[in-house]
Amino acid sequence: MSPARFFPLLCFAASGMFGAETSPDAATEEEPVEKLSAFVVLAGRIPTGNTPGAMLNSVEAASTPGATADINRSLQTFPGVQMADEGNALFVRGGDSPETITLINGIRNPGATRLSAPTGSFTGTIDPFQAKKITFLNGGFGAEHGNVLSGVVDVTTRGAPTSNSATVNVGLGAIGATGNLATGPGTGMRVTAVRSDVAPISALNGSAHGYVEKPNGHDLNFTAAWAYKPDAEVKLFAIDQTSQLALQANQPGFHGVYRAKLHNQLATLGWGEQFGSWSATVNTGAGYLLRDETTPTGKVKTVTDQQQLNAKLSFEATERLLLTAGADLTHEAYGLSKTITADGISQDYHRDLVEDRTGAFFEADTVVMRHVRAVVGGRTDHSRLTGERTYDPRLAVAWEPVRELSFSASGGSAHQVPDAFYFVADDGTQLDRPAMRSQDVIFAVEARRNSRLLRVEAYEKRYGALAQLDRDYRPTFGGTGLARGADLFFKTPLPASFSGRFTYSFVDTQRTDPNTGRMAAAPWDVTQSITLVLERQIGEWHASLGWRYATGRPNTPIVRGLQRSDGSWAPVYGESGAERLPPLQRLDLLAYRTWLFEHGRGMTVYVSINNVLDRKNVYSYAYSDDYSHRQIVPSLFNRVLYFGVMFYFD
């Protein structure tokens, strides 16, 4: 049954479960929903924080079992995110992971996913405790968001501390410290330094992979903020991150040591202020990203320098009408160095590209009639690399017939300029490519009462002009795609002092296969994903248990080997996505306890066991030299015991 057909049934179920005890007449006469602030939900926009109906706040992001205090892994428990592997990349509603972006204080973070390896992506996004607010958009974007197809992770960092304090964190795989200095009323600084190394974790738990160099790196964060009045702030934030690893890889045409290094830097400066009915926000930032990868067949090094500026101005014309307009500018200097070894011959080239993107948007957010809210807008963007101007209309509508029940719909078009890597041919010449595009429509129902929440969404997305890589990592263009699915999220208190949240996602994702040119299941087409998280206070300990299940993603088998004239073997592939990997399952446990002492001091001890049942999840298959035999390539994690302690000083 398609999502559009069973969506009315789910709406009826939500209305019956949550709406029966709220009188429509009472809501109409005593609590009319007339102001913009009274509406809770719009399709595709996931509420976070501690507001009514919130799904996940920053503390829950850090305490999600199995997430290792990583924002992206915590968001994988959200509706609409497919768990394609055990890394931290976000595959949102049929989209590839580069189609989801991360914003930090309104500025795009170039290194949101720190490292990718032949066995999945590794952790490394911003520390959730640096976040004041995390907003996740899995579609239905407002006109403010441009150059993105699938998802937006919007992180607002914390401002000035209210008092002096320090934190020291000593864990099995990381050591770090944070210092907070309040320099005056509304002013202060925050500094965090973390050094991480997987080697101690591997020494205790063993490793599923032959690492030549265990994943390691560092994080440095700095914040300086001045809140010169309650609704006005100037804030500087800077982050410096490194990651590196090396491991033995065994894939078709890819036998040997894989090495990867990443260096990501980002600095943002933002200002925001309220002037009566007017509010203004200006953000500027600069980023630097270095990716250096060495494979058995060559080397690829990319360097990106970017500068960004965006501004928006809002006018609250009435309690029922908010008008917003804004503009953004991005400049990127991109350098690609590539060494390819083929038939014993090494070829080198270097290419520099420059990208300038400009965009502007307008949006009207209004209560069009009692209990009905509409957000109507559009944006236009121009890219130097694509040489084209795009236009994207956006619309969202919400209806709250009663105080605890919402229905909403959203839709529109979006464009995204592919990474500069896709504009360079194998010989180093620059290619002409269009922007990728998508159109989506989302229907949602949300029912809530006190701390109980049920949310259901159904959607359809269509893609065009997709940029993809074939098996030889050569860019292809012109692909199309279709994704249809439905998501369910349920959060509620449970008997025996438990609380729980349950997520179910279904998606059917088809895309043009870049190797054959025919439509096939996308490589990340994980049709069903289930997450169940249970939490309970046990004495002085807070414990949470998380179970995750995901149907196996598609796999294209190698049916035989073809011997070349030099005696080596070439793979002969079967039908694209002809089989699926075994389902991915994990049971994770997290427990922590906090002690508070005199003079503002405290201590938290935490213990985590990932993959409690030690399930051997499969990432891919490795083959013998002649491709006559294959064996599994295990996913990232065996059973992993992790523990540490945090000390607090005020």
- pLDDT digits over 581-602, tens only? 999 999 999 999 999 998 889 9
Cβ–Cβ under 8 Å, residues 109 and 124:
no
d(CA 218, CA 220): 7
Question: What average pLDDT does the segment 98-117 reach?
Answer: 79
Question: What average pLDDT does the segment 391-399 reach?
Answer: 93
Query: pTM higher than 0.85, yes or no?
Result: yes
Handedness of CA 157, 158, 159, 161 (dihedral sign): negative
pLDDT interval class at 502 (50, 70, 90)? very high
pLDDT interval class at 345 (50, 70, 90)? low
d(CA 419, CA 224): 32
pLDDT surpasses 50 at 11: no
User: Between residues 43 and 505, which one has the greater pLDDT?
Assistant: 505
* Count of structural domains within the chain: 1
Per-residue model confidence (pLDDT) at position 221 = 92
Average pLDDT over the chain, rounded to an integer: 85
Least confident of 225-234, 289-298, 428-437: 289-298
CATH number for the domain spanning 429: value is 2.40.170.20
Structure-block tokens of residue 238: 């800077």
- The set of residues, in sequence order, having a beta carbon less than 8 Å from that of 396 and lying 6+ positions away, is 42, 43, 44, 140, 142, 374, 375, 408, 409, 410, 411
Rounded to whole angstroms, what are the CA distances from 534 to 236, 418, 499, 546, 569?
38, 40, 6, 6, 50
Question: What average pLDDT does the segment 486-510 reach?
Answer: 92
Cβ–Cβ under 8 Å, residues 322 and 312:
no
Structure-block tokens of residue 245: 């690893």
Q: What is the pLDDT of residues 573-584, one digit of tens each?
A: 999 988 999 999
Q: What is the pLDDT of residues 351-385, one digit of tens each?
A: 899 999 999 999 999 998 888 999 999 999 999 99
Per-residue model confidence (pLDDT) at position 363 = 95
CB neighbour burial string for 74-105, b if at least 16 within 10 angstroms, e if fewer:
bbbbbbbbbbbbbbbbbbbbbbbbbbbbbbbb
Which of 532, 512, 531 has the alpha carbon at shortest distance from 520? 512
Cβ–Cβ under 8 Å, residues 584 and 619:
no
pLDDT interval class at 206 (50, 70, 90)? confident
d(CA 250, CA 318): 63
d(CA 445, CA 318): 27
pLDDT interval class at 70 (50, 70, 90)? confident
Question: What average pLDDT does the segment 34-40 reach?
Answer: 56
Total Cβ atoms within 10 A of residue 43: 27
Q: What is the pLDDT of residues 248-268, one digit of tens each?
A: 777 766 677 888 898 999 999
Matching residue, tokens 């038939």: 343
d(CA 315, CA 383): 29
Per-residue model confidence (pLDDT) at position 258 = 84
User: Between residues 81 and 67, which one has the greater pLDDT?
Assistant: 81
Per-residue model confidence (pLDDT) at position 626 = 87
Q: Domain range holding 148?
A: 3-649
Query: For 114-253, where are the E strands, in sequence order?
Result: 116-117, 120-121, 131-137, 151-157, 165-171, 174-184, 187-197, 211-229, 232-251
Structure-block tokens of residue 119: 């066995």
pLDDT interval class at 122 (50, 70, 90)? low
